[in-house]
Every structure is written in C-alpha cells, then in structure tokens.
Structure 1
C-alpha cells in the first residue's frame, strides 16, 4: 500500500487531483451516494442566491456510467499529465491551469448554445487528446489495441462514439472545436498571422501558483529570494561592480590571516 501511495503522490498534481475528483464524484453520483443536481452547470444557477459558483468546475467532474467510471478518469489523467509534464507549450503549472480554464469556458459556451448538455467531461477529454497529439505529428500512438498516426487519435475517439454512444458525438465535437479555437488564438495566429497571443497566461494566475517567498517555521522564518535577485552567499564580486580593489589573482587565495596572527 505504501508503494501505491508513493506513486500516487509522485504523479503530476493537476492531473492527479482532477482525475481523483472525477472518480470520487462519478462513483458517488452513479451509485446514488450524491445527487446529480449538486454538480451540473446551468447559467441561471449563477444568478440564484446563493450563486452556484462551483458549478462551472464541478460540471467537468462526472464521467459516463458503467465502464466510463474507469475509462474517463484514466484518459483524463493520461492526456492531462502529458500536457503537465514535458510539453514545451505548457512549461509551467499555471499554463496548464489557464488552458483548462480557457478550453472549459469555450466548451460550456458551445454546449449551452448548440448541444444543451449540462455535464462536459467527454468534451474536455477529447480537447485534451487533440492538444496532446498536435505536437506528435509523424509519430505513432496506441488507441486501445490499434496503432494509428498520433494526430488521428481524437478522430478515432469520434468514430468510436459514433458506433457505441452516438449521443456523445455533439459533446465531443464541441470539445474538438474548443481545442481548435484555443490552438488558433494561442499558437497559430501569433506564429503565422503575426498577431499577439490572445490567450496569454495572466500574471495573477502565476502569483497564485508560485511558492510564497516567506515561509513560517517553528524555529524561525525563511525568506526565498525572488528569481533573478540576490547572490549566493560567499560569491565574489568583480571590480566592474565597484566592489573590490584587489587584483583578480588575489581573490582566489583563500581567507588569509593577519600578520603576526596564529
């Protein structure tokens, strides 16, 4: 059990926590332990008193029933962890969070006006699959028991839904459109259109995610130097900084002693 716990806590935190929330919520709702009415999203819920401000987030926490209780958290973790670890387009945790916020917002708007769905996890999974495999063109990927070109994985998911769960198809298409829209505004338009990145990660999100500089401890207070500031203790400063008048060769001779000292 300790090995399982260690592996769990070593997993990428955003993917781990998101997949855990989906698994717990799905088990609770599909087995009658939690009411579905706590989690779905409807814009009118935001205008009630008290407003359901949690619903835009919890509407992505419910998987499909039966086998979907296992498969949806698995695919969510698989694709989200690939964005969170080692993807050059998302070098920081806040970049992944901002991607989820933007794509999730696009999905909710598209579903409200075009599909009428109130739970959105399948759309987000397909959007993640699309974004994950965009930078893998020319490579092969495994989809269930088949090996296909990596960029075709999201379209294979659409074909499976068409054959097995046609009702999911409009929802997944909304996820594909949302991922395309994010890719256009954040990458294609700046790189090929010469315009600005319209979905740049905001600074306030970076401040929320960054480790605080001041850490209270039982035996005192530790202050982390901010990036690019401060100098390691014991480092020498050059004469160009106006710090020392000694020749360069003298600075590497050690601590030295006073004349007549021990």
Structure 2
C-alpha cells in the first residue's frame, strides 16, 4: 500500500496542482492568513480598480472546512484525476486547456445577473464531474451505499443531493452548462461537421513543455498544425478518430 506522500506524488499534474491550491486556500482562510473577500470575483473591482487577480483566485476557494468541502476535494481527487489519466492521458496541455476554457466559460456565465457568483470553484469541479460522466457513462457508481446508478447520471444525482441538503443549485448548474459546452464543441460538433474548432492553443503546449510536466505528450507543441485532435475531449463510446 502506498503512503500518502507516494499517492500525492503519483497524481497527474493539473489535477494535483488545482486540488492543492484549493486545499491551501481554505487552510489559509481558517488560519486567519487570508481574507476571502480579497480573492472573490467582483466585476466592478476587476474593471474599475484593476484587481484582475480576482478572475483567477476565485476558483481556488471551495468553501470552509466542512463535509461539502471534503466532497468537492474528493471529486477533484477522483473524477478529475481519472479524467486526466483516461481521456487526457499524455495530453496534459489539452487537459489544462479544458480547465482554462471551462474557467473562461464560467466567468462569462457569472456575468449574467441570475448566475452571479463570487466563487466559481464548485462550478469548475462540477464541470470536471460532468465531463468524467461523459467519458465513462456506463460505469456503476454507488452513492453513500444507498443508490447505485450509471455514471452518466451522477452529476444530476449530486445536484439533487445539494438541493436536498440546502446547498445552492446555481453553482452546480453552471458547471454542468460549462461542461456540456466543452463536450459539444469537442465531440458533438466535430462528429456532425468533421471540424474541431476548439483546438488547444500553441501557447498552452509551450507552457506545459516549459514546465516539463505530464511526461511525453501525444501532441507536439512544435507542430501545432498536425494536432487535428488537439483539445478534443474523446468521450467514452463517442471517441473521435485520432
């Protein structure tokens, strides 16, 4: 059995980095080292006070230490990690671009008055859950030892549980919307048209290559024109030809 340190070191780079930042942010908050109002998304201060860091930092706060926080962190450790190791195996740049695209989509959604939110971390985690459910739609999932269902329905089951336990529904819905938008642009649209309009930008490939993370990559950053599937989420049972 591996030690916690060995398990942590074995995690794929993007999921590990994001989960670590979320854990450190909440820890800093509880230690009194961080005022979360300093990292919250508040557009007037972004545009009129030029506090642009809020566009990034709001994604790292999943709430106070609680059962819900633990569940969100476990969702990253399980579903985010499995997604990075399966659909995005040896495609760290594509996985990072998927996270960036999801974050940008959520920032746009949060500008809609009905969907406004100061922290979009939970929505980003739900996006990962949604895409994982599309990658492994027939996997059997047991929820708290009470209900067994196919992974395809897991995002909706988790949303229903949040409603039952009184958690806000909008963050979950926003994550599902962002996840489906990515799935549509990388799977459904290419299947119907033969074109992929959401390729991973070259600068993301170069960033991953510069960091030297994720091991050997399938898509070469030096040959962006050859990566016709670059940025494509494959989707179990809906895989595109590579």
Name the CA shift for 1:207/1:4 in 2 (closer, same or farther; >3 Å).
same
**Counterpart of 1:123 in 2: which secondary structure?**
helix
**Counterpart of 1:210 in 2: which secondary structure?**
helix
**Counterpart of 1:198 in 2: which secondary structure?**
coil
- Ranked by relative contact order (alpha carbons within 8 Å, sequence separation 6 or more), the top structure is 2
Distance 1:125 1:185 in 2: 19
Counterpart for residue 37 of structure 1: 37
Name the CA shift for 1:8/1:140 in 2 (closer, same or farther; >3 Å).
same
> Any conservation in 2 of the 1:111–1:171 contact (CA below 8 Å)?
no
2:93 is the alignment partner of 1:94 = yes
Counterpart for residue 6 of structure 1: 6
**Residues 164-194 of structure 1: CA distance to partner in whole angstroms, max 9, x if unpaired?**
124x2012111111111111111100112x1
Q: TM-score, normalising length from structure 2?
A: 0.78
State the shift of 1:109 in Å. Answer: 1.4
Counterpart for residue 154 of structure 2: 153
Distance 2:211 2:40 in 1: 34
Distance 2:136 2:80 in 1: 15
Report the aligned-residue RMSD: 2.4
State the shift of 1:45 in Å. Answer: 3.0
2:182 is the alignment partner of 1:182 = yes
Counterpart for residue 59 of structure 1: 58
**Residues 227-255 of structure 1: CA distance to partner in whole angstroms, max 9, x if unpaired?**
89xxxxxxxxxxxxxxxxxxxxxxxxxxx
State the shift of 1:96 in Å. Answer: 0.7
Name the CA shift for 1:100/1:227 in 2 (closer, same or farther; >3 Å).
closer
Structure 1 residues 1-262: aligned runs within 5 Å:
3-48=3-48, 51-65=50-64, 66-87=66-87, 91-113=90-112, 114-145=114-145, 146-166=147-167, 168-192=168-192, 194-211=193-210
Q: Report the structure number with the largest CA radius of gyration.
A: 1
**Counterpart of 1:60 in 2: which secondary structure?**
helix
Distance 2:52 2:160 in 1: 35
5+ long unaligned stretches in structure 2: 213-220, 224-242
State the shift of 1:61 in Å. Answer: 0.9
State the shift of 1:7 in Å. Answer: 2.4
Name the CA shift for 1:87/1:177 in 2 (closer, same or farther; >3 Å).
same
